[in-house]
Structure 1
């Protein structure tokens, strides 16, 4: 029905109701009171009819979607009708010098009853008699607070949604058995498995947007005991800003189950280092490097240099940033190998960056065990080339992306990362450039990480391969890792090693089980097999050595360390002679060198 026809139909209906109300009031009371004459009745009817339509337009009664009518709409009806009755009474006083209170009171009550009934009857008919065109799924809402109430109200009002809220779960005992928009609070988090079965729930919606990661993990453990699909409601700020609607849910991700909240940035200090400056990111096409580029771009540098060895990956991040920032930032894609010293110096001389984020590296532990020379060439020689070029051309800040595997290394990759830290710390002693390193745990979703591997194995029908049932790792997300790099650059004084407080380590087997459940499968369908620890792997990773541990944070959830004096001549010897070493010698030499020079002490936050 068109907008004009809809308004015309409502006006005709209201006119009939208005006349019916006042004539009914007249015939109910006038035979007894005999206060109304026919001319008075006609005059009052005309006044009431005109004033009703006037106030109906003022309170937009003809523009409202009455299939979603609620308390707000009822209040608007009462106001419009009351004002129209008062206006008619005033006109009676002006013309007849009297007001017929009882008749007008009965008219007011009939008016509200008929107008309200006509509007709300459509909603009742729609809710109870019109059958939905799609299959209805029964939903259990976790959280009976403001967000959960908003969600249920939206689901109840939205005829097009396939979700029907059948109950709340909330850990606040005061809310137990309360009803919100007709939906009852049935129990607490621990009752989820029982309630899913009792209420025949198909979907579980977590409607507590501000919930901590630890609480999400706890709730998901209960949800995972059921066959219901678990999703999360969007953030309130995204709903308010219009980015998403209330009922645009997202699936629970592995990142939600890390059990800790992300680090918040000091955007002011980062902005001072990046805004209007020239920034170089090596390894810009990689998972970490490309995310660093995205994060840096938010601070509007004057020029962003995307340096990488693979043209396809550099092309991808280049196109992505150009489409988003257009002319705001000068973006320069640079194809270069960090092992090519002349090329790196050429790039530095041409662009003279203010800040360098060095993310280019070989990072796969088992592969580097088989290719130690390549690990040294890229992670050690390449880092030395970029760092010395930074020193030569006056770069202000150099941030090395390191690894938790650099602590007491047992593999070639971790050892080369540790030696890379030694290189920049040695340079920092006599350079005007502030050289710092940032140690990561494992990065979820990065290339070569376990998550993409597990997903491929799940899609293939399983089993998911885990090295050992007791193996644990620290995990962080790609955006969080990249933000930590930026924050380290802002905190840099020179010589530090920054480490994120990553909470408790996660068992790889638990990660695999969660991913299987998140993919919609049971453990029986996919299964887990154990392949044994691979060459160079540790059972447990460390973020700081024993003599590095310090309870004081330099920044919320960020710790800081610095090495003491070490024998850099052995590092120089490796760099000068690595071409002459065979593979086995390189591997042993690098491991021995990293471990013998491992003395690290904590630096005071002051």
Structure 2
């Protein structure tokens, strides 16, 4: 231990000595630069105020005194110029300006031979220009002398010759060589990282851009190539190992084409941008492709000022507030300055996690309450309504797992259908302003219990809109990336375990959206609802699950992962119905949101259906409950009947 300490002390002394030598060496070079300037302007140049030998010595002593005392007082020589930024150069400019003022005043006051103002200014300015040039050349040689090129070797040799130190490092062979797609502001800021931080693990070799103004030029000494010039052979010559995407606004189709092009060639791909899920704002950073980016679809922005204004100063209760969608709804709402947010959930851990996250983010600025309660517990639910009198209810609580609900039909009906009915009745009793239900694309011609219960919920909400005082709406969307029941976490675990990755059927297609998209859609649709609307979202093109699995495997970089087809699960169909047939739907102000035309049932019809379901559930038999559900939801189809149509 003592030997280690001695070594550290010696190393520190060596570094201190080295720093001291470089500082005095820089003063020496500045003196040489001044001598050159003085020789030109005081000795060789005569001018109208030709000086005698004594006059030259007087001017040299006075100017040297002013310039170098000012620089020493201004701590110009304390700075580490190899890392010098603009502030270092500004300090040098400022100290030499002070030196010039002092030189001018003393020259006028002292009984010495005078020179013209122009010559005096020229001495200080030319000397300053030389000092700046010295430092810039030193910094450039230090930063670029580590490159394995002829220019890099020359710079390294000159740096060692004149300063006695090596270039920035000789570790370039150990660093990751990257090509940056995008020579814009984002790409250039990424390229500046190695310049400002020698500990970065990568070194930029080239930019790849389509701008004719930039192609063929250099940025920070890094060449800018066109896409045609960035051939695999040329990238190989520059030892490029990774490709970094640094154009956040790149078209999804273009990004997909480039991704596949470079991925097929064996390059590791990364993104320099903000995180795309769960994080708003923050600092750009280098990261792997996020899962939703594998879909290569532009995220929809559905939030607007009207939505924000609607929720401001409102008391909002979110059921299932600790879940994937519910927690994101809480995050989005917290930005809109509500009077109070009530998170209601049966699972206390999820609710607690959201509570702590929002407390850290907003502190006392956000009034946040937690209630642990099931929406099937009418008495407990009524106490919550009585305590807070919420103005807006967002019902995100539901059992959503398709195969599990096939074998737990009674529970699915109790939670999804009866729970929704409890909320609707309590909204009417306590005078709630608005009720918004989170629905799913699986409610469209459902082939499973989960989808059928959600369709029943839609019918309950639409019926209530015809006779109640509350404004009701429901919002449908597709599969949510990153949610607890998403296929993405399953694929991740399977890949981490070495495979195989399982897909139920290679023909399966699904619509996808991110959690923030889904949450913003629910909030906006609720804000614009008049009463009884069933909102649906144009989610673009569906995605084949097999393609998603293949992309995830390629992204992981793990070789030999097999994809195995396991067969359709209970209640699963090969495709989800197209949510939007725009010619049959009513438009809204948002071009991506539509309203489905649907005839609401009467209050009597709905309660008759609920009685049928209640009687079936009271038997405790899932098969009886399932058949009862089939009888009250006319569009509930058998999956085998739907799948055989496209088999």
Query: What TM-score, normalized to structure 1?
Result: 0.85
The equivalent position to 1:168 in structure 2, one of 207, 214, 217, is: 207
CA distance in 2, matches of 1:324, 1:101: 60
2:262 aligned to 209, 218, 223, which one?
A: 223
Cross-structure match for 1:510: 547
| Alignment match of 1:531 (pick from 563, 566, 572) | 566
Match of residue 557 from structure 1? 592
Partner of 1:583: 622
Specify the SS of the correspondent of 1:362: coil
Do residues 153 (structure 1) and 201 (structure 2) align? no
Q: Which whole-Å deviations, capped at 9, do the CAs of 1:74-104 have from their partners, x for residues lacking one?
A: 7987898799789968987996465498999
Distance 1:189 1:592 in 2: 62
Question: Is 1:315 matched up with 2:319?
Answer: no
Structure 2, unaligned runs of 5 or more: 1-14, 146-165, 638-647
Aligned 8 A contact 2:477 2:536 in 1: yes
- On the 8 A contact 1:281/1:358 being kept in 2, the answer is yes
Q: Distance in 2 between matches of 1:101 and 1:306?
A: 75
- Residue of structure 2 in register with 1:602 after alignment: none
Cα deviation, 1:55-89, whole Å, max 9, x if unaligned, reads 86999955765214589977987898799789968
Q: Write the distance in 2 (CA, Å) between the matches of 1:34 and 1:111.
A: 23
Give the Å deviation of 1:223.
Answer: 3.0
After superposition, the C-alpha distances for 1:498-538 in whole angstroms (9 at most, x for unaligned) are 2222121111111112222222324xx21211111212112
Secondary structure in structure 2 of the residue aligned to 1:289:
helix
Report the equivalent of 2:175: 136
Aligned equivalent of 2:534: 497
Match of 2:389 in 1: 352
Q: Kindly indicate whether the alpha-carbon contact (under 8 Å) linking 1:280 and 1:353 is maintained by their aligned counterparts in 2.
A: yes
Q: Which residue of 1 aligns with 2:138?
A: 121
Three-state SS of the structure 2 residue aligned to 1:413 is helix
Q: What's the secondary structure of 2:452's corresponding residue? A: helix
Q: Determine the structure 1 residue equivalent to 2:31.
A: 16
Structure 1 residue corresponding to 2:514, chosen from 477, 480, 486: 477
**Paired residues for 1:98-109 under 5 Å:** 98-99=115-116
Matches within 5 A, 1:305-344: 305-344=342-381
> Is 1:574 aligned to 2:612, yes or no?
yes
Distance 1:23 1:329, change over 3 A: closer
Is 1:210 the equivalent of 2:225?
Answer: no
| Cα distance in 1, alignment partners of residues 118 and 333 from structure 2 | 73
Report the Cα distance in structure 2 between the residues aligned to 1:126 and 1:156, rounded to whole angstroms.
7
In structure 2, C-alpha distance between the alignment counterparts of 1:67 and 1:482, rounded to whole Å: 49
Per-residue CA distance 1:247-306 (angstroms, 9 max, x = gap) = x31221012233333333444323333222221111112111122122222223222211
Give distance in 2, aligned partners of 1:296 and 1:124: 53
2:569 and 2:213 mapped to 1: Cα distance?
A: 53
CA RMSD of aligned residues (A): 3.8
CA distance in 2, matches of 1:556, 1:64: 57
1:429 partner SS = helix
User: Is residue 2:268 matched to residue 1:253?
Assistant: no
- Asked if 1:35 is matched to 2:50, the reply is yes
Contact 1:410 1:591 in 2 (8 A): no
Aligned to 1:185: 224
What is the CA distance between 1:372 and its match in structure 2?
Answer: 1.5
Q: Deviations over 1:134-187 (max 9, x none)?
A: 821101000112222232233334322221111111133553322222211233
1:315 to partner: Cα distance: 2.6
Query: What is the match of residue 603 of structure 1?
Result: none
CA gap of 1:597–1:256, structure 2 versus 1, over 3 A, is closer
The answer to whether the aligner puts 1:464 opposite 2:481 as a matched pair is no
Instruction: Give SS of 2:474's match.
Output: strand
Moved over 6 A (4+): 4-8, 30-34, 57-60, 70-95, 100-108
CA distance in 2, matches of 1:419, 1:242: 39
- The answer on whether the counterparts of 1:458 and 1:526 sit within 8 Å (CA) in structure 2 is yes
Q: Which runs of 5+ in 1 are unaligned?
A: 599-606
Q: Residues 332, 114 of structure 1: CA spacing in aligned structure 2 closer, same or farther, 3 A cutoff?
A: closer
- TM-score for both structures, normalised by structure 2: 0.80
Distance 1:31 1:406, change over 3 A: closer
Give the distance between the partners of 1:473 and 1:280, measured in 2 at CA. 31
Structure 1 residue aligned with 2:477: 440
Helix, strand or coil: the match of 2:596? strand
Matched length: 589
Distance in 2 separating the partners of 1:266 and 1:391: 28
Q: Is the 8 A contact 1:210 1:235 kept in 2?
A: no
Cα distance between partner residues in 2 of 1:392 and 1:26: 95
Query: Offset at 1:589?
Result: 3.6
Compare 343-352 and 460-469 and name the one that shifted more: 343-352
Cα distance in structure 2, aligned partners of 1:194 and 1:493: 61
